[in-house]
Chain A
């Protein structure tokens, strides 16, 4: 099992969700997050008041998938989240040692 984690721009979340739904992925966790990568925070000046935006708002998506589906999910996320501009985000895949559906106790691919 793999855990695919992606940090994407907030306004791309709906596209990613749809792309994953088209792939038959039926579970997804999203979290509102803030952070920075190469796209640093910036200083905004608004009506004379200057304030520092240290962290940029993003959305973190997490999807658990069977090993064989991971690449398809990765491709779909990248395609849907890409705008070509700076700050499109990042994606990584990690091994999920154990996956269990709490209600039924099903394990592994049955649990996703």
Chain B
């Protein structure tokens, strides 16, 4: 079946539209082209209407976007047929003869048939019908009938201007909820979102009903610029998709950016430059629509007096701070007055500027609105030049919802909320109890991502920019230090919590050392919370919160126990530096691996010079049955340092202790460490039990016994007992004490043993531990004349603490029995 030929006016309309489409590149169809398009449609419809031989009592009107003369490439043609209610059949016939050819020509035509009275009724009932008919425009037929409908519709809105404004505001809120915010979403809805073209029209509608004076001159100009730009983007989008599309998807941003003439620049891709402009305009639209609708809703008359420029920047900023503290919006006259104030291009911050700025930061949500106003008025970029590069800059990652600057102000608002005690999470409350400086927290929140300017690492760029910004503002001393620390380390907690092994003690100590003090930990904790809250729901799940809490609790306990603090952190850092310096000849990766796997306690306990001496023994990989030992004269005369390195296993320490005893050596002190990858590094200070000089034969004997013990070729228990029987116990008898402590460490159970010194004592204790399959992870053994105080950090077979009370009791009993049995025997 052949389709009927298209009506001539429709053929011409299609040709004309095609010519218009090709006349400009796809990115340059702005309001002018939309207007031209509407005129073409007008001409076609007028012709069709005339050809239809319509009666005089029918008027054809354009409504909606078409009514405004704003016809986008693929938008519907919204028609309203106005009649007087007397010619029902003829209306239907006209509708057929006008609409069918358009439909046949592939045009989407929305149509309604109403009398002026019906227009009034439906306008009173539905906001969308009311607003679309506010833009009514006669196209063909009875103009008077259309005018009658138009005035009735306008009367509906004008009867309740405040109610009309409220309805528009509620509609804007509902659209923002449903379509999101055009001003920062990565795939924004250009029409319906907050800051989209619909908001822009809402300003026009309310101004048409309430009065043009409702909109300030600067606002009107900004809206025109936004309409021009957003219309071009939306038209390009419709050309690209060949659909009536409003949402700008990621995959179309590059072609549309190119069509609109954007090109890649250093630090800013073409599509980011496009989105940045979209956001800038949408942000202005959103702000202006909010202000104008609020004014109309408040029924506030526009000021009749001219604006009163402030004497200088400081006065203007002070007024903004006053308003922010009072939680009051800036009224139209105030905005005009600020705009009229002379502001130097690069103003110096005075004491007054700083005071007002900090007052704004402290004012919570109202302060953030004030910053937004300062931003829209162009003052923020003047005061803080670093703001411009992050302004409206899109962030393309799965977590962030906001542009960089919106993320920063949202983080500031979240920080304010935390400081107001709005969060009862123990982590937040604990951090607040540390009372880090509030201004530092607010400045840190505002500046933490200031380095996201598309140049390499945002953290190092951020540190540089934040330093310059703080200098400019005039923030000094401890507050400045804390802000800088927050900017430089703001990723430390979240990255560590989600990517690293929190049961790794070295890691926790390193984090504690980098942080240095509970106050700084509190500041980072609060920033991590505020930052994550401001990022989006994906960044602050209970899953992430649990990990962060785990990390913070562990680091805090490191401070609480005194395992780390400013002084120790400093000592650790400087010692590691010295170790690296002493090992300069070694390959970097070998040295770094050594530093990474050795426990921090080792570096804190052992002088860098000795560490460097140990390095060749410890660094090479240790075979599963391999044992390395090196002896070296210690600083104290007659004493030797004995280093034993072997794959760790329960019992190892007891074998070494036994071999030491059997070789006729007496242990003065011992320090036992275990590396990250399960290698025992045991360091003893020994002296000869019978002679001051220890010769090679004794060392050989020690090594031989140890090897045999490990291979199970000698019974140490028997040999040591035998030896003990031959030597008397010291005359002075002190009691044996055993204490098991599960609070002292997060990772190990600490067993403290006090006992009179004698041959084989360490062997007795450690073999009792081995029998219970406890692994000695860290030990400190010290001899005070005739009494020995030992602390053993032990873990059970699966690497955990011993928490079962029955097992704790068993440990105490076993050690006591070992030591006291010996005492009885002697």
Contact = CB atoms under 8 A, between A and B. Distances in A.
A103 interface: no
Interface in B554-612: 556
Given A44-B553, A57-B543, A85 B433 contact: no
Contact of B426 (A33, A49, A83): A49
A86 B430 CA distance: 29
A14 B800 contact: no
B342 interface: no
Given A33-B543, A53-B546, A85-B800, A11 B430 contact: no
B385 interface: no
Nearest to B538: A32
Interface stretch (B24-32, B222-230, B494-502, B779-787): B494-502
Interface in A33-87: 33-34, 44, 46-47, 49, 51, 53, 55-57, 83-86
Contacts of A84: 798-799
B737 interface: no
Interface string B729-752: 000000000000000000000000
B549 interface: yes
A47 B546 contact: no
A10 B550 CA distance: 13
A85 B499 contact: no
Contact of B498 (A10, A46, A55, A85): A10
Contact of B798 (A46, A49, A56, A85): A85
A10 B427 CA distance: 21
Interface in B483-537: 498-503
A46 B426 contact: yes
B801 to A, nearest CB: 11
B421 to A, nearest CB: 14
A46 B556 contact: yes
Interface in A71-109: 83-86
Given A32-B543, A53-B546, A57-B543, A10 B556 contact: no
Contact of A34 (B427, B498, B499, B543): B543
Nearest to A85: B799
Interface string B131-159: 00000000000000000000000000000
B547 interface: yes
Interface in A1-33: 9-11, 14, 32-33
A33 B547 CA distance: 12
B556 A11 contact: no
A8 B427 CA distance: 26
A61 to B, nearest CB: 15
A47 B499 contact: no
A47 B800 contact: no
Contacts of B623: none
Given A34-B546, A57-B546, A85-B800, A49 B499 contact: no
A11 B499 contact: yes
A104 to B, nearest CB: 19
A29 B310 CA distance: 59
B542 interface: yes
A34 B549 CA distance: 14
Contact of B499 (A14, A51, A57): A14
A32 B499 contact: no
A82 B730 CA distance: 49
A33 B544 CA distance: 10
B541 interface: yes
B547 A10 contact: yes
Given A47-B556, A49-B430, A85 B503 contact: yes
Most chain B CB neighbours (cut-off 10 Å) among A9, A32, A57, A85 = A57
B381 interface: no
B429 interface: yes
A86 B800 contact: yes
B543 A46 contact: no
A9 B501 contact: yes
Given A33-B543, A57-B543, A57-B547, A49 B501 contact: no
Nearest to A49: B426
A88 B531 CA distance: 30
B122 to A, nearest CB: 44
Nearest to A53: B546
B799 A86 contact: yes
A14 B498 CA distance: 11
A55 B541 CA distance: 13
A34 B426 contact: no
A11 B800 contact: no
Contacts of A47: 426, 429-430, 433, 556
A86 B429 contact: no
A40 to B, nearest CB: 11
Contacts of A44: 549-550, 553
A90 to B, nearest CB: 15
B799 A34 contact: no
A34 B552 CA distance: 19
Given A47-B556, A53-B546, A32 B541 contact: yes
Contacts of A51: 426
A6 B426 CA distance: 32
Nearest to B507: A11
Nearest to A32: B543
A86 B553 CA distance: 20
A46 B553 contact: yes
A82 B799 CA distance: 13
Contacts of B798: 84-86
Interface in B401-444: 426-427, 429-430, 433
A34 to B, nearest CB: 6
B544 to A, nearest CB: 8
A11 B433 contact: no
A76 B503 CA distance: 23
B542 to A, nearest CB: 7
B787 to A, nearest CB: 34
Nearest to B543: A32
Given A46-B426, A47-B426, A47-B430, A10 B499 contact: yes
Contacts of B541: 32
A51 B543 CA distance: 15
Contacts of B553: 44, 46
A101 to B, nearest CB: 20
Contacts of A11: 498-502
A55 B542 CA distance: 10
A33 B542 CA distance: 10
Given A10-B547, A49-B429, A85-B800, A34 B501 contact: no
Nearest to B432: A47
A59 B798 CA distance: 21
Contacts of A14: 499
Interface in B770-826: 798-800
A44 B503 CA distance: 14
Contacts of A34: 542-543, 546
Nearest to A50: B426
Contacts of A32: 541, 543-544
Contacts of B501: 9, 11, 83
A86 B539 CA distance: 27
B298 to A, nearest CB: 45
Interface string B711-722: 000000000000
A59 B800 CA distance: 21
Contacts of B800: 85-86
A56 B550 CA distance: 10
A70 B128 CA distance: 58
Contacts of B543: 32-34, 57
10 contacts: A10-B498, A11-B498, A11-B501, A14-B499, A46-B556, A53-B546, A53-B549, A56-B546, A57-B546, A85-B799
User: What are the 10 A-B residue pairs with the smallest beta carbon separation, nearest first?
Assistant: A47-B430, A49-B426, A32-B543, A85-B799, A86-B798, A11-B501, A57-B543, A46-B553, A57-B546, A57-B547
Given A34-B546, A46-B426, A47-B430, 13 more contacts: A11-B500, A32-B544, A33-B543, A34-B543, A46-B430, A47-B426, A47-B556, A49-B426, A49-B429, A49-B430, A56-B546, A57-B544, A85-B799
